Chains A and B, each alone.
Chain A
Amino acid sequence: MKRNWIHPEEPQTGKRYWRSPAELERRSEFLSKHGVEFPSGDTLTEEEAGQSRRNFLQLMGASVGMMGLASCRRPLTHILPYTNHVEWVIPGKPLLYASAMPTAQGAVPLVVTTHEGRPTHVAPNPLHPLGGGLDAFAQASVLDLYDPERSQVPLASGKTTTWAKVNEGLQAILKDAKTDSGASLVIVVGSSTSPTQHRLLSEFKAAYPQAKLFAYEAIGNEGQATAHQEVLGANTKTFVRWSKALRILSLDCDFLGLDPIDGEAVKHFTKQRAKDKSEGGMNRLYCLENRYTLTGGMADHRKPLAASMIPAAAAIIAEFLDIKEASALASAAPPGLKEWLAPAVRDLIDHKGSAVVIAGSRYGAEVHALVAAINNALGAYGSTVELLEKGSSATLASASELEAALVSGAVKTLVSLTPSNLLFDAPLSLSGAIQSKGVKLVHLGHLPNETARAAALHIPAAHYLESWNDVRAGDGTYSVVQPMIQPLYDGASVIEVILALLDKKKLGPAEKPADGAAPSEDPVYQAVRDTFASVAGSLDEAKWNLTLRDGFLKGSSYVKSTGVINAAAVSSLVGKAKIPVAPKAEAVEIVLTPDSAVWDGRYINNAWLQESPDPITKLAWDNAAWIGSVTFRSLGLKNGQMVKLSIGDRSLTLPAIEAPGHVQNSVTVTLGYGQQNLGFVGSDSNGIGRGFNAYPLRAHASEFVISGAKLEVLADTYQLAITQDQNTMEGRALYREATLDTFAKKPDFAGKTGMDSHIPENISFYKGQIGRKTDENPDGFDYEKKHQWGMVIDLSKCIGCTSCLVACQSENNIPVVGKDQVVKGRLMQWIRMDRYFATNEWGEQKAKSDEVNIDPTGEQLENAEMVMQPVACQQCESAPCETVCPVNATVHTDDGLNAMAYNRCIGTRYCANNCPYTARRFNWFDYNKRPLDELYWGPLSNPDKTGMRESLQLQKNPNVTVRMRGVIEKCTYCVQRLEEAKIRQKQVQRDSKNFRIPTDSVKVACQESCPAEAISFGDLADEKSSVNKAKASPRNYELLKYIGTRPRTSYLARLRNPNKEMPGAERIAAWSAHQI
């Protein structure tokens, strides 16, 4: 007898979750105070809301055991459709917007995925002239939007206040400013390329002629700026064309990593390095640097050189090109440097017109002046380096001038709009002046950090996904930054504050229009459109819409400049430079660099970045003193042992970490760590900041190389979360590389390294199920009727940045596990970026033998090669993990995927043991449910601070299950995207036979984000697909082939292009041949 259930009363649950903004808007006090952004209602049910993806699995746990019973008491679930339909929104389909992320250098063109109004994932904008690939920072920026610890309410000297008060405060400032036409008012902005911002600042300057405007970035490039200004001219900027550069010499310029320079996208550089035939121009990279950087890792020739010696190096090169002024500087060079540089420079000269020399942006004006002269002499300008005419911009004074102004005491009010954290990262003299001189500080910021807490007035900043803005990319291409979501906390953008200062806007929540009245036009929107009009020539709606759609305005790049370099300026700048001294054991040098996780400290609260290990040291959640192996071992240090760095009265105590490839008597410290009381990511649960603050070490804002420091070893140690214990590959042929010559002689070297050379062809005992379906192989994969997914990773291109890790984390709802768990070796990221060091010396002596613990000496490590290898699930056709699962939770699909059904998994972890690539991850705890610092409390953990804060749930990708504790997870080739693509094709196919998706029309998250375009993915059954082309390369090899797992992911061996005349050229890449 079938019955009609009478439902029980709807339970009033205390805790509320949601999976969509509408849900959010309707049910959560968290946003209910905001005006209606999302039309009420959505097509998700309250029950799903109440039991969202992240905890469905344990609900399963509770109920599946008694499935029947559970559904007898069927809970009442509601569907709440929109009352009025919303334009473009189709429930269940994501909406994509083209936008751009503003950076100090310019802009990162983006395509943002939104689900019912929530931005969940960002991807590069392929249409944009500089598009293609993201760095980890841009990839992770979406998490900042939902950061539960971000500044949510205005503060007045640390106390929460109202927006009304904020507006009053600004009014008061303006009143004073009017009296003295702004003489006592100072505005500090970060370096930005936003035309609107510059326009408005100029307007402000016009209104208050006495007011002073400064630019301040914690990690600035004053030297470079001055050099450019004086040598190339104030309005000229450089733009490097990697596509034309065949010989590149980098003077500690990590242009592939943490020192991006204006130029073409990285992919144009890597394209030059991946060759499938030995002939054809492959570029060559020389690199001088004190520590290993990603750029150093890619270099064909790299010499560890103390950072204080870089000017000398520049000078030597200049000498070779007979630029006279350099000789004095050149004399300071250490022995051997000249010999090393001689052949390199000859090589550069031989390639006049296709050679370029670049220098780290943090070096002094003299270095950049010399580099300009050198490039000029090499005929780089106009060919490999383009000189562009910058558009008009407000004139901003430098940080040193700001310091002067503050010290003079003329400043009464300082409005800080820079993204950096003045009181934290400015030199003591500057920040000290602000506090001592009783300057009234108005601060706009994303985090409630030191400055925010100290400021007289702190204004929560809007995220770039929350507000209108515009930017110019490196080549000047104009993009409009459009908001995807209404400011979650009413934050204000820089432009809004400037508008407020121009008295054109009130900050804070938009007041509701009176009934019937049309909502007043947003002044920011207006301002941006005005700028657009001036950039585009006229306010042409069609053009505007096109710009919004494509994410940039066609043909808006800067015009070429006809500037010539000013030799006099060069000599004067070089003349001013003081002669550097080489560091010694008793007087070491300290090199301050941006951090791969937090940059200058602004990303301190981004858990994804914090947890993605530093590509070089593999250190997560902390910074440390990188000390070269020789020094490290001579001091008898252990990883994590504390050391004291002191220079004069400034000192810093922090843990040491061994850094192979790091020059002796030099210590590298990354900046941005050590900010206090920023909640559970930026600082630990007791508010103690993560890592150690190195800013106080510098005397002035442009000092990044500090000579003559003292290095003391302390007794106590500190727990570092290092994600890779092993430095060497133990002689196992996991990573394979060769020089161009070897490749010419032995094109199949990749397939013939180590055991691969003598293993027989793998033949499955169970015939069939592998390979193409044929008559003798009837059970094979059906390459005709199905898609067959495959991936190729080109190690010649892969630079080892961790952007794919973060992209994967963002796409696949991978939880953050926290420092403690990382220490315990439970990192969750599905992609593991293996970093190995290798040199020929120990290659020869050991690897051929059966000795396994190959421990190189300090010297060997100092000159070791660094190689990067991303490893995720290889999607083996004959996957060992599958057969051992007792419950069929992981089985093979007929399109060749190694499927993982989370809801079937019981967590025996047998598959993880049996995976040759250690590609499987296990949910040891309820990372998505329980607070990371109380994991061990289990059910007793504090329910109020759940590990998954409400706002973070907004970021989750609704097409991917959020896993509960006790299940295995791993890379699935973004199966949700593949299925989506197939279904899209079905919608097209309808009643036709044509089931195959358009060639290469589906991209997986890591591939999409890879700036080097090292990953090709696609349908093996489609001859035209790029993955098939890649697999055809002679450099193609499979990881651990001898086991016979037949991975669908394969690698292309790396090629190096050494210069025979260079010292040690014969040793380059030779180690690879010695592997077993």
Chain B
Amino acid sequence: MSTLKRVHGYLAEFDGVADLYHAAEQVRDAGYQRWDVHSPFPIHGMDKAMGNSKSILPKLVFVGGMTGTCVAFTLQTLTQTNFWSSIGLGFLQKLAETYPTVVQAKPTDIFTLPAFFPVMFELTILFSAFTTLFGLLALMGLPRWNHPLFVSKQFAKFSDDGFFVCIEARDPKFSQEGTKALLEKIGGKNIELVEDEL
């Protein structure tokens, strides 16, 4: 069995939200980039403390939602009306082998649109929701089942009542002593060098 290891970074525990909050502020001010705090629940204002930027998720979702609307519009107008032929895109209708029919004296032109709103609405929501889900996973880089932090025994507390700061070795300002010192200075406990087995 190999014992080849790679340093992932320093992990320090803090007791209480307040300590963690203030610690985060100081790490931020110390100019670290590749670091993060781990807590059992989202902490109010922590983004400010860490100096994170806002999530871009909403923009993705907007695009997804609009796609849904367009899909629904096309699907319905294509199969139920002669709209596309009337604007000279008849080949689409031919391609989809559509068969617009007259029901309850409702026309097969674009004026029947009101009847299509419900489905357009639903598909908008559906597409947005899925964009949210998959966009989120993408942004978080999850699922990632294997992670160096899981090596640390004490880290398991994060999902109960543990509050951690982890400064990664990849950070340019990372240094065995300097970082450890910083963590001690800002009141980190059980400071641990997390190593990743290879």
Taking Cβ atoms with an 8 Å cutoff, the residues of A that contact B are 764, 766-770, 779, 877-880, 882-883, 885, 888, 890-892, 894, 1046
Q: A766-B111, A766-B112 are in contact. Are A891 and B102 (CB under 8 A)?
A: yes
Task: Specify which of B103, B107, B111 is in contact with A891 (CB 8 Å cutoff).
Answer: B103
Could you say which residues of chain A place their CB within 8 Å of the CB of B74?
none
B95 interfacial by beta-carbon distance below 8 Å: no
- Min CB gap A741→B, angstroms: 39
Taking Cβ atoms with an 8 Å cutoff, the residues of B that contact A are 99, 101-109, 111-112
- Min CB gap B15→A, angstroms: 60
- Min CB gap A901→B, angstroms: 10
Q: List 15 A-B contacts (CB under 8 A).
A: A764-B105, A766-B105, A766-B106, A766-B107, A767-B111, A769-B106, A769-B107, A779-B107, A877-B105, A880-B104, A882-B102, A882-B103, A883-B104, A892-B104, A894-B102
Residue in chain A with minimal CB distance to B79: A888
Could you say which residues of chain B place their CB within 8 Å of the CB of A764?
105
Could you say which residues of chain B place their CB within 8 Å of the CB of A880?
104
Q: A766-B111, A766-B112 are in contact. Are A883 and B102 (CB under 8 A)?
A: no
Q: Give the most central of B99, B104, B108: most A CB within 10 Å.
A: B104
Residue in chain B with minimal CB distance to A1044: B105
B101 touches A883 (CB 8 A): no
Could you say which residues of chain A place their CB within 8 Å of the CB of B106?
766, 769, 883
- Inter-chain CA distance A767–B107, complex, in Å, is 7
Task: Specify which of B103, B105, B111 is in contact with A888 (CB 8 Å cutoff).
Answer: B103
Q: A766-B111, A766-B112 are in contact. Are A878 and B105 (CB under 8 A)?
A: yes
- In the A-B complex, the 4 residue pairs with the smallest Cβ-Cβ separation, listed nearest first, are A882-B103, A883-B104, A769-B105, A878-B105
- Min CB gap A36→B, angstroms: 47
Could you say which residues of chain A place their CB within 8 Å of the CB of B111?
766-767
- Inter-chain CA distance A883–B111, complex, in Å, is 15
A878 touches B104 (CB 8 A): yes
- Inter-chain CA distance A891–B104, complex, in Å, is 8
- Min CB gap B125→A, angstroms: 20
Could you say which residues of chain A place their CB within 8 Å of the CB of B107?
766-769, 779
Could you say which residues of chain B place their CB within 8 Å of the CB of A882?
102-104
- Min CB gap A82→B, angstroms: 39
New contact pairs (12) apart from A769-B105, A769-B107, A885-B103, CB-CB < 8 Å: A766-B112, A770-B105, A878-B104, A879-B103, A879-B105, A880-B104, A882-B103, A883-B106, A890-B103, A892-B105, A894-B102, A1046-B105
Q: How many A-B residue pairs have CB under 8 A?
A: 46
- Inter-chain CA distance A877–B105, complex, in Å, is 7
Residue in chain A with minimal CB distance to B99: A888
- Min CB gap B110→A, angstroms: 11
Task: Specify which of B99, B103, B108 is in contact with A883 (CB 8 Å cutoff).
Answer: B103
- Min CB gap A606→B, angstroms: 39
- Inter-chain CA distance A140–B25, complex, in Å, is 95
Could you say which residues of chain A place their CB within 8 Å of the CB of B99?
888
- Inter-chain CA distance A768–B108, complex, in Å, is 10
- Min CB gap B158→A, angstroms: 50
- Min CB gap A565→B, angstroms: 64
Could you say which residues of chain B place their CB within 8 Å of the CB of A892?
101-105
Could you say which residues of chain A place their CB within 8 Å of the CB of B108?
779
- Min CB gap B85→A, angstroms: 15
B101 touches A888 (CB 8 A): yes
A891 touches B105 (CB 8 A): no
A879 touches B104 (CB 8 A): yes
Residue in chain B with minimal CB distance to A890: B103
- Min CB gap B99→A, angstroms: 8
- Inter-chain CA distance A894–B108, complex, in Å, is 13
- Min CB gap B69→A, angstroms: 21
Residue in chain B with minimal CB distance to A892: B102
Could you say which residues of chain B place their CB within 8 Å of the CB of A769?
102, 105-107
Could you say which residues of chain B place their CB within 8 Å of the CB of A888?
99, 101, 103
Residue in chain A with minimal CB distance to B112: A766
- Inter-chain CA distance A217–B64, complex, in Å, is 83
Residue in chain A with minimal CB distance to B103: A882
- Min CB gap A875→B, angstroms: 12
- Min CB gap B119→A, angstroms: 11
- Min CB gap A1047→B, angstroms: 12
- Min CB gap A891→B, angstroms: 4
Could you say which residues of chain A place their CB within 8 Å of the CB of B102?
769, 882, 891-892, 894
- Inter-chain CA distance A670–B144, complex, in Å, is 85
Could you say which residues of chain B place their CB within 8 Å of the CB of A878?
104-105
- Min CB gap B76→A, angstroms: 13
- Inter-chain CA distance A882–B108, complex, in Å, is 14
- Inter-chain CA distance A779–B99, complex, in Å, is 17
Could you say which residues of chain A place their CB within 8 Å of the CB of B101?
888, 891-892
- Inter-chain CA distance A769–B81, complex, in Å, is 14
- Min CB gap B118→A, angstroms: 13
- Min CB gap B52→A, angstroms: 48
- Min CB gap B109→A, angstroms: 8
Could you say which residues of chain B place their CB within 8 Å of the CB of A883?
103-104, 106
Residue in chain B with minimal CB distance to A1045: B104
- Inter-chain CA distance A764–B107, complex, in Å, is 10
Could you say which residues of chain A place their CB within 8 Å of the CB of B109?
779
- Min CB gap B14→A, angstroms: 59
Could you say which residues of chain B place their CB within 8 Å of the CB of A891?
101-103
- Inter-chain CA distance A891–B109, complex, in Å, is 16
- Min CB gap A553→B, angstroms: 52
- Min CB gap A367→B, angstroms: 58
